[in-house]
Structure 1
Amino acid sequence: MASENVQRYFTVEEANQRLPLVRAIVGDIVELFEYVYNREQSLREISELPGSSSRDEETIYSEELRLAAEELEDDKKRLKGYFDELEDLGIELKDPRIGLIDFRSMMDGREVYLCWKLGEDEVTHWHELDAGFQGRQSLLEQPVGESF
């Protein structure tokens, strides 16, 4: 499943070449993540209702709740599979809600991230390892002499 933690560095061109596959995986992640999150919230609310989860007796919804919980676990496993798929490609998922990912890269001898978000046509931003999404900088505004 997951890779052996071998560090992979991407150029902007390599990152953009992988976007068709990455776009499909990340699209699936965003959709399934929202579904799983909403389903978890619903099941939690239902289980907190009076009489919905008596340990000593079966309620009329016990079987339905059990099946819903099993389906939720299956969906979580599918989601983990998508996460692992990105990891195997050397890509770091930063926010599954919005489809934010980073490609590790090198710029002037230091590690940085090439940053991409679902809905963007191509990789157009980068940031320092500790800067996060708020620290995104345009690749077009890159200082002279710095290269990826």
Structure 2
Amino acid sequence: MARYFTLEQAQSLVPEVRRMLTEAVEARAELEESQQEIAESMKRAHQMGGVELDTERLVMLRKRVGELGGRLKDILQQFEELGVQVKDLNVGLVDFPTKYRGEEVLICYQLNETGVGYWHGLEEGFRGRKRIDRDFLDHHQGDPVH
């Protein structure tokens, strides 16, 4: 069952969400870099018959990939436990489910923002973001107890 957030609940989670998102974005970027370096090293070694294969570096990179993958999995699990939906780790984008006029919608937060200030429908996505206005404040609701 989905958790529905009030605007206040979402806003109160922003510091924790920001910390987690920052860590996840950095881990994802480092993971991609490490995987790319492994792929390039293997390609180069294949092309040169294995002559310039730095096995120590590859072992270290593979270990780091495993660590980073595990860390990302842990962070994503933490988001799931909070009820926050991760949408894009390239830019640090998450959504907080809520109800507006009886329909499920999403309060949207991006890493570079100071707090929650936008929402969108389930099918609209980031491009359909709208500023939170008085009507939204008057007609949205979260779970009664959280």
**Which range, TM-score by smaller chain?**
0.7 to 0.9
Q: Percent identity?
A: 29
Partner of 1:86: 79
Q: How many residues align?
A: 141
Is residue 42–residue 53 contact of structure 2 (8 Å, CA) maintained in 1?
A: no
TM-score (norm 2): 0.86
Q: Are 1:27 and 2:11 an aligned pair?
A: no
1:19 aligned partner, one-letter code? V
Alpha-carbon offset, residue 144 of structure 1: 9.2
**Whole-angstrom distance in 2 between the partners of 1:98 and 1:92:** 14
**Whole-angstrom distance in 1 between the partners of 2:15 and 2:138:** 30
Query: Which of residues 5, 13, 30 is equivalent to 2:8?
Result: 13
Deviations 1:28-70 (A, max 9, x none): 111111111111111111111144797xx89752243123112
Q: Structure 1's 8 and 59: CA in aligned 2 closer, same or farther, altered over 3 A?
A: same
Instruction: Classify the secondary structure of the residue corresponding to 2:104.
Output: strand
Is residue 33–residue 79 contact of structure 1 (8 Å, CA) maintained in 2?
A: yes
Q: Structure 1's 52 and 72: CA in aligned 2 closer, same or farther, altered over 3 A?
A: farther
Is residue 16–residue 123 contact of structure 1 (8 Å, CA) maintained in 2?
A: yes
Q: Note the 1:60-139 alignment, pairs <5 A.
A: 60-139=53-132
Is residue 36–residue 76 contact of structure 1 (8 Å, CA) maintained in 2?
A: yes
Q: Comparing both structures, which one devotes a greater share of its residues to helix?
A: 2
Q: Structure 1's 144 and 81: CA in aligned 2 closer, same or farther, altered over 3 A?
A: closer
Instruction: Classify the secondary structure of the residue corresponding to 1:48.
Output: helix
Partner of 2:31: 36
Is residue 53–residue 62 contact of structure 1 (8 Å, CA) maintained in 2?
A: no
Is residue 34–residue 64 contact of structure 2 (8 Å, CA) maintained in 1?
A: no
Instruction: Classify the secondary structure of the residue corresponding to 2:31.
Output: helix
Q: Which runs of 5+ in 1 are unaligned?
A: 1-5
Deviations 1:108-138 (A, max 9, x none): 1100000000021111000001111111111
**Whole-angstrom distance in 2 between the partners of 1:53 and 1:142:** 65
Instruction: Classify the secondary structure of the residue corresponding to 1:16.
Output: helix
Alpha-carbon RMSD across the aligned residues, in angstroms, is 2.3
TM-score (norm 1): 0.85
Alpha-carbon offset, residue 143 of structure 1: 6.6
Instruction: Classify the secondary structure of the residue corresponding to 1:34.
Output: helix
